[in-house]
């Protein structure tokens, strides 16, 4: 994985955008994090090495700083119905403490961003992608009714603790329910959230993540982030991990990255995200681009995001064209060596009528055979209710 995959092109021709720092910037540097610009921030791409951090997360617990993400709250009378006018999910049916993956859509049904929505009781809590969070905030403020209040938690940090030993680490350092009778970290299941507390510090904890592993995302005051990260990394099973491992983990998990695998020119069906459109919304519509999207569900998309097994050892990177014989039928959007698979893998878009035939990617003038394969490449290990 090259450093070129982690950069932000800025805003406007010739612009030199300001690169911001995370609350834990000095902490990352002190621990040997190699910092690169990403989504407008200096962020650690790796510490001891991408492959080592990837495999550590699969076996133990990796701590990722994702404070570049946008943490938003929206509140007011009818807030769920108001948000439903902008996304295709069933937000009004979301119970307190539950989360839902959804998509912020433009008028044509193109994906402006993918996001997580949590019913936090008296408000909705949204986590949006860092690279487009300012665009998302502007869009939400423009489109939501005047009685809906939107707040950006720019004084918050967001940490992701991922891997099979994450649950023990959080419990053993003393993360506890914020309310008597509330769920603790062991009680939460995948896509469930609750307020918690650690040494008097308020935490918003969800059992979720972007690696395919069991794990948690923890929202907390930026002022408390260093103390909390120190406590976690004092636990033998936890090590800090960077963007490189986060990217290879999410690729093995078959999870798309906005701005690479998804963009405003992509609709949810061709993006293989039709699961995010609930049954009620499919029947009732009422979301942006519903006509186009529901027709694609009924008739099938003209192209589709798929996973690829790659023949040989040469990685196939983003941007590589995909051919069926002499005809280009698609392109790669993410690709690289998959440490847990032990081979290169990729995902990308291919014309639907070409999916059944032999395919090749072109890399530096050389053709490399591809096989369309089911995603995820590595089974998800989420802790689900009743399992």
Alpha-carbon separation of residue 151 from 19, 43, 134, 154 (angstroms): 23, 24, 12, 9
Alpha-carbon separation of residue 319 from 45, 261, 316, 327, 346 (angstroms): 21, 11, 9, 16, 11
| pLDDT value for 385 | 85
Q: Which of 231, 244, 258 shows the shortest CA–CA distance to 172?
A: 231
pTM for the full model?
0.94
**Domain extent listing, the chain:** 3-67+155-252, 302-379
Residues of the chain short of pLDDT 70, as ranges, are 1-16, 387
Q: Are 345 and 308 in contact (CB under 8 A)?
A: yes
SS (H, E, C) 222-266: HHHHHHHHHHHHCCCCEEECCHHHHHHHHHHCCCCCECCCECCCC
Q: What is the CATH architecture of 302-379?
A: Beta Barrel (2.40)
DSSP, collapsed to helix, strand or coil, labels residue 245 as helix
Residue % of the chain over a pLDDT of 90:
94
| pLDDT value for 11 | 38
Q: Which two structure tokens, joined as six digits, stand for 80?
A: 């769920």
| pLDDT value for 12 | 40
| pLDDT value for 93 | 96
| pLDDT value for 7 | 40
pLDDT tens-digit series, residues 21-43: 999 999 999 999 999 999 999 99
Q: How many residues does the chain have?
A: 387
Q: Which CATH superfamily is domain 3-67+155-252 in?
A: Probable tRNA modification gtpase trme; domain 1 (3.30.1360.120)
| pLDDT value for 18 | 87
């Amino acid at each position: 994985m090259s450093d070129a995959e982690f950069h932000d092109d800025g805003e406007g021709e010739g612009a030199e955008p300001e690169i911001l720092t995370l609350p834990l910037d000095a902490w990352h540097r002190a621990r040997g994090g190699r910092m690169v610009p990403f989504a407008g921030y200096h962020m650690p791409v790796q510490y001891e090495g991408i492959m080592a951090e990837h495999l550590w997360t699969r076996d133990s617990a990796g701590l990722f700083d994702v404070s570049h993400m946008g943490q938003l709250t929206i509140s007011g009378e009818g807030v769920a119905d108001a948000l439903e006018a902008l996304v295709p999910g069933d937000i009004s049916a979301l119970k307190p403490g539950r989360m839902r993956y959804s998509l912020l859509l433009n008028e044509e049904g193109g994906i402006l961003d993918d996001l997580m929505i949590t019913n936090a009781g008296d408000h909705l809590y949204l986590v949006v992608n860092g690279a487009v969070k300012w665009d998302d905030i502007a869009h939400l403020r423009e489109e939501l009714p005047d009685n809906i209040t939107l707040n950006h938690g720019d004084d918050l940090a967001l940490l992701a603790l991922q891997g099979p030993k994450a649950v023990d680490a959080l419990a053993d350092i003393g993360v506890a329910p914020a309310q008597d009778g509330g769920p603790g970290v062991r009680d939460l299941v995948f896509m469930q959230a609750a307020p918690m507390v650690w040494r008097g510090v308020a935490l918003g904890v969800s059992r979720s993540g972007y690696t395919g592993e069991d794990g948690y995302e923890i929202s907390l005051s930026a002022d408390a982030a260093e103390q909390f990260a120190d406590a976690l990394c004092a636990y033998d099973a936890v090590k800090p991990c960077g963007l490189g491992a986060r990217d290879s983990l999410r690729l093995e998990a078959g999870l798309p990255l906005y701005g690479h695998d998804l963009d405003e020119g992509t609709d949810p069906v061709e993006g293989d995200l039709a699961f995010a459109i609930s049954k009620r919304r499919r029947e009732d519509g009422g979301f942006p681009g519903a006509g186009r999207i529901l027709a694609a569900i009924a008739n099938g998309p003209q192209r589709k995001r798929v996973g690829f097994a790659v023949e040989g050892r040469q990685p196939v990177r983003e941007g590589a064209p995909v051919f069926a014989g002499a005809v280009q039928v698609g392109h790669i959007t993410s690709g690289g060596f998959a440490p847990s698979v032990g081979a290169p893998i990729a995902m990308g878009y291919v014309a639907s009528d070409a999916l059944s035939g032999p395919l090749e990617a072109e890399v530096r003038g050389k053709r490399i055979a591809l096989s369309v394969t089911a995603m995820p490449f590595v089974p998800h290990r989420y802790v689900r209710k009743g399992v």
